[in-house]
């Protein structure tokens, strides 16, 4: 892999690195792209919107001709809600595959929307498997759709979307994917993995700033979505039809965020697209996980399920360890980490995405080692119950 040390700029003006899964550390060029104003109606901005949509579709590879890209104002959740409301018919029944906070959020969204659904809830971090999906679909012919989370950011698990997709289409149902934290770094090519729509946002693996999400969907699904949404502002069909007709967003677009995102998309291409981005994040993860393990930390997940997006570590059992203090000590050294989201044992998370490379990740490990010393923690081994939990997860 090419040495990226000269290309990755340290954060501006001594800002800390954000080891968080979005907002994340962006490049100076991406931030600088926001230093002017654009009229939303003007040709220049319409061209920017079109270039952005085209570049996003290009990431799908050969199968992209059947798809179109519809940006949506708001954070990622707004785009998820827009996708679910627009592509799930009112008389549909959906199987939601949940193994963390974002799966649960899709369930909650369906409750708000009043769309019939069942949930396969795998708890905090166990993956939903293809055989389980096949069985549930065989047992319940009323189910029409499956919703899967690509990388469940709350544990960092990379869910097996390929086998989920195979089971879904083998049973003649349709798949919608929340690829929020994976799209742009992990391939999701429709020629390899079948799905009807995916959703992601500006501030994850493309390394833009927060402000909008986007839905990438089959044109046939976009056509069929007409008149289906419960919401004026989240109506994907209406946004799509208006954008294709006028080149404009229906309501005030986040102009500066789009400008920053375009800059980030150009950098993404220069890095080698999805493959190049994924390779850097994978090396970030490998260097960081190896170093943390040397310090005695243990990951929640076994290697096969670790995503190159974010990694959950158990908190050490040592009574001198205190997460809030650890957080502050890491921040003092220039790194913002993320609290964990597990219900059974204490944990924290370290993100691998954003403008960081393996050199930065080595410094993260050094900072973690120094912070343990400052707290008087001599051993980062987690409590026995944490390791018992992990033993439940198949290799």
Ligand X SMILES: *Cc1c(COP(=O)(O)O)cnc(C)c1O
Is 349 flagged in the annotation as binding? yes
Cα dihedral 17, 23, 25, 28, rounded to 10, equals -140
Q: Residue with CB nearest ligand X? A: 76
Q: How far apart are alpha carbons 34 and 315 in whole angstroms?
A: 39
Q: Is 20 in the site for ligand X (CB under 6 A)?
A: no
Q: Is 201 in the site for ligand X (CB under 6 A)?
A: yes
Q: How far apart are alpha carbons 19 and 368 in whole angstroms?
A: 13
Residues that bind ligand X (rule: CB under 6 A) add up to a total of 13
Q: How far apart are the first and last CA of the chain?
A: 28
Q: How far apart are alpha carbons 109 and 82 in whole angstroms?
A: 10
Q: How far is the CB of 309 from ligand X (least distance, A)?
A: 8
Q: How far apart are alpha carbons 310 and 101 in whole angstroms?
A: 14
Q: Is 72 in the site for ligand X (CB under 6 A)?
A: no
With CB under 6 A as the contact rule, the residue among 80, 158, 257, 300 that binds ligand X is 80
Spatial contact of 310 and 150, defined as CB atoms under 8 Å apart: no
Which range touches ligand X (CB under 6 A), out of 72-80, 155-163, 237-245, 334-342?
Answer: 72-80
Which range touches ligand X (CB under 6 A), out of 58-66, 76-84, 86-94, 360-368?
Answer: 76-84
Whichever of 177 and 365 has its CB closer to ligand X, that residue is 177
Which range touches ligand X (CB under 6 A), out of 59-67, 82-90, 178-186, 348-356?
Answer: 178-186
Spatial CA neighbour of 356 closest among 25, 1, 20: 25
Which range touches ligand X (CB under 6 A), out of 70-78, 158-166, 218-226, 267-275?
Answer: 70-78
User: In three state form, how does the secondary structure of 195-232 look?
Assistant: CCEEEEECCCCCCCCCCEEEEEEEHHHHHHCCCCCCCC
Q: How far is the CB of 388 from ligand X (least distance, A)?
A: 27
Q: How far is the CB of 354 from ligand X (least distance, A)?
A: 13
Q: Is 153 in the site for ligand X (CB under 6 A)?
A: yes
Distance set, CA 16 to CA 26, 145, 192 (Å): 11, 42, 38
Binding residues: 349
Would you tell me which residues interact with ligand X (CB under 6 A)? 21-22, 75-77, 80, 102, 149, 153, 178, 180-181, 201
Binding residues for substrate: 349
């Amino acid at each position: 892999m090419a040495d990226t040390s000269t290309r990755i700029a340290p954060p501006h003006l001594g800002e800390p690195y954000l080891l968080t899964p979005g907002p994340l550390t962006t490049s100076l060029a991406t931030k600088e792209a926001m230093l002017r104003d654009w009229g939303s109606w003007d040709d220049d901005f319409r061209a920017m919107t079109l270039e952005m949509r085209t570049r996003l579709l290009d990431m799908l590879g050969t199968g992209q001709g059947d798809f179109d890209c519809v940006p949506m104002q708001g954070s990622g959740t707004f785009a998820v809600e827009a996708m679910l409301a627009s592509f799930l018919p009112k008389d549909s029944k959906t199987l939601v595959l949940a193994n963390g906070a974002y799966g649960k959020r899709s369930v909650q969204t369906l409750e708000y929307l009043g769309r019939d659904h069942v949930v396969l809830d795998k708890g905090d971090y166990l993956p939903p498997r293809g055989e389980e999906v096949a069985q549930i679909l065989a047992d319940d012919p009323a189910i029409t759709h499956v919703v899967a989370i690509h990388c469940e950011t709350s544990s960092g698990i990379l869910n097996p979307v390929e086998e989920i997709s195979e089971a879904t289409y083998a049973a003649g149902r349709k798949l919608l994917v929340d690829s929020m934290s994976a799209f742009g770094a992990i391939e999701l090519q429709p020629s390899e993995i079948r799905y009807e729509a995916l959703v992601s946002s500006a501030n994850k693996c493309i390394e833009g700033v927060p402000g909008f999400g986007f839905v990438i969907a089959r044109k046939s699904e976009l056509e069929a979505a007409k008149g289906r949404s419960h919401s004026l502002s989240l109506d994907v069909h209406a946004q799509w039809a208006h954008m294709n007709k006028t080149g404009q967003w229906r309501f005030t677009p986040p102009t500066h965020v789009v400008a920053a995102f375009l800059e980030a998309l150009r950098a993404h291409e220069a890095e080698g697209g999805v493959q190049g981005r994924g390779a850097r994040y994978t090396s970030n993860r490998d260097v960081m996980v190896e170093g943390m393990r040397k310090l005695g930390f243990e990951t929640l997940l076994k290697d096969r399920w670790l995503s190159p997006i974010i990694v959950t570590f158990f908190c050490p059992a040592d009574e001198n360890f205190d997460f809030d203090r650890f957080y502050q000590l890491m921040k003092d050294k220039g790194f913002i980490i993320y609290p964990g989201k597990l219900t059974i044992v204490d944990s924290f998370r370290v993100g691998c995405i954003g403008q960081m490379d393996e050199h930065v990740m080595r410094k993260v490990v050094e900072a973690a080692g120094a912070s343990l010393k400052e707290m008087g923690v001599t051993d980062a081994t987690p409590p026995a119950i944490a390791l018992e939990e992990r033993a439940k997860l198949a290799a």
